[in-house]
């Protein structure tokens, strides 16, 4: 019963089958192969963005950090939520790739930046002059680190503020599919139609082994990006095996199906939490549940072998209720989800 992370779970059989199919004969290396071309095309179609530049890397940290380096100079300010993955969970990758750029972290309820907070921060940053560095970009995560989802309208509001200040908007979409199906909109509505300039489209948490797509909606923003990716060691020589994973997920809509399943699992868990006297810390809009659960429920779940993270920096001994994070994955057995729900509902 592993609810620790969607990273703990596996790859979809279609992904493995695609790898086997791609493993035929000799092709051009470094992305000059037909699988890569097809995967790029399929993603452009899924995003209704025929001019977009699409490139593949194997990790979300690489995707995010490379985009940061592409958009921010060493003296740039990258505005993001204080709980953003790029701030909390990438070991300084954006700063390393962007040669010292500064993440300016902002508060926001339920993992989301508000337009007011962003506008104020951009104004203050501009006022800091040389001392503070040059405003370079805004980065949001969708679905967020708290399992919530920005609607297209909310994305547009933030993009508008960023653009007014001359800054592009980056969307960390490690769980992009979960956000799209949750919002009930198209991938285009969630991104470039709302003003997003770059998207990291996550495959790994969505059923791939290790594959992410970096998308620049305006090709001019991708100038030099292939060199940057190469210099970072993120260009695969046998790239067809990277592209094939994304192709398998995107080409017939599997990515959205899997996200729908994972989101449904999370909702089932969330309902059980509430039934069991727990309290949700944020609305459950994607595949993660942040909640406080009664200590008794926590003990029972642990005793039953459930794995999940406590959601506190402080020592958890004696806490009641207990703050927890439960992450659902598309490949969890239904019975396992049901059993966990039963434990949570008490």
**Cβ of residue 284: shortest distance to a copy of itself, in angstroms?**
20
Torsion over CA: 214, 217, 219, 224 (sign) = negative
Judge contact between 289 and 264, C-beta under 8 A.
Answer: no
Q: Are strands 53-57 and 169-173 parallel, antiparallel or unpaired?
A: unpaired
Judge contact between 328 and 6, C-beta under 8 A.
Answer: yes
Short-list 26, 25, 41, 29, CA closest to 247: 41
What is the C-alpha separation between 239 and 30, in angstroms, rounded?
A: 6
**Cβ of residue 186: shortest distance to a copy of itself, in angstroms?**
27
Structure tokens that stand for 122 in this block? 């951009």
The H or E element that residue 212 is part of is: strand 212-216
What is the C-alpha separation between 142 and 33, in angstroms, rounded?
A: 31
**Cβ of residue 308: shortest distance to a copy of itself, in angstroms?**
11
What is the C-alpha separation between 192 and 110, in angstroms, rounded?
A: 24
Q: Which is nearer to a copy of itself, 322 or 328 (CB)?
A: 328
Q: How far is CA 10 from the centre of its chain?
A: 17
**Cβ of residue 321: shortest distance to a copy of itself, in angstroms?**
21
What is the C-alpha separation between 174 and 262, in angstroms, rounded?
A: 14
Q: Which is nearer to a copy of itself, 156 or 328 (CB)?
A: 328
Q: Which is nearer to a copy of itself, 74 or 114 (CB)?
A: 74
SS3 120: helix
Q: Which is nearer to a copy of itself, 155 or 266 (CB)?
A: 266
Q: Which is nearer to a copy of itself, 59 or 186 (CB)?
A: 59
What is the C-alpha separation between 184 and 259, in angstroms, rounded?
A: 12
Which residues, in sequence order, are CB contacts of 144 under 8 Å at separation 6+?
81, 83, 110, 111, 112, 150
Q: Which is nearer to a copy of itself, 210 or 264 (CB)?
A: 210
Structure tokens that stand for 232 in this block? 């970072």
- Residue that the structure tokens 């954006």 belong to: 94
**Cβ of residue 156: shortest distance to a copy of itself, in angstroms?**
27
**Cβ of residue 280: shortest distance to a copy of itself, in angstroms?**
24
Q: Which is nearer to a copy of itself, 166 or 184 (CB)?
A: 166
Q: Which is nearer to a copy of itself, 125 or 195 (CB)?
A: 125
**Cβ of residue 238: shortest distance to a copy of itself, in angstroms?**
6
**Cβ of residue 137: shortest distance to a copy of itself, in angstroms?**
14
């Amino acid at each position: 019963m592993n609810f620790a992370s969607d990273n703990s779970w596996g790859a979809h059989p279609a992904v493995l089958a695609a790898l086997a199919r791609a493993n035929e004969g000799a092709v051009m290396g470094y992305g000059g192969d037909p699988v890569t071309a097809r995967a790029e095309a399929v993603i452009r179609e899924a995003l209704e963005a025929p001019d977009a530049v699409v490139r593949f890397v194997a990790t979300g940290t690489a995707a995010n950090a490379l985009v940061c380096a592409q958009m921010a100079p060493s003296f740039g300010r990258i505005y993001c939520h204080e709980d953003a993955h790029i701030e909390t969970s990438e070991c300084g990758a954006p700063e390393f790739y962007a040669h010292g750029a500064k993440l300016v972290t902002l508060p926001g309820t339920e993992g989301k930046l508000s337009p007011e907070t962003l506008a104020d921060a951009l104004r203050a940053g501009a006022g800091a002059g040389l001392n503070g560095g040059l405003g370079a970009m805004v980065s949001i995560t969708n679905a967020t680190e708290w399992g919530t989802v920005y609607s297209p309208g909310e994305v547009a509001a933030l993009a508008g503020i960023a653009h007014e200040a001359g800054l592009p908007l980056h969307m960390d979409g490690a769980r992009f599919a979960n956000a799209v199906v949750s919002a009930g909109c198209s991938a285009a509505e969630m991104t470039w139609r709302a003003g997003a300039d770059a998207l990291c489209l996550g495959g790994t948490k969505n059923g791939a082994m290790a594959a992410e797509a970096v998308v620049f909606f305006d090709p001019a923003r991708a100038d030099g990006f292939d060199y940057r990716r190469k210099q970072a060691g993120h260009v695969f020589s046998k790239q067809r095996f990277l592209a094939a994973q994304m192709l398998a997920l995107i080409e017939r809509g599997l990515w959205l199906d899997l996200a729908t399943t994972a989101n449904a699992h999370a909702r089932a868990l969330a309902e059980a939490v509430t039934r069991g006297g727990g309290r949700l810390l944020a609305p459950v809009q994607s595949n993660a549940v942040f909640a406080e659960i009664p200590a008794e429920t926590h003990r029972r779940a642990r005793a039953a072998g459930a794995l999940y993270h406590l959601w506190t920096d402080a020592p958890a001994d004696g806490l009641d209720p207990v703050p927890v994070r439960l992450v659902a994955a598309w490949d969890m057995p239904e019975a396992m989800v049901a059993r966990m729900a039963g434990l949570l509902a008490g």
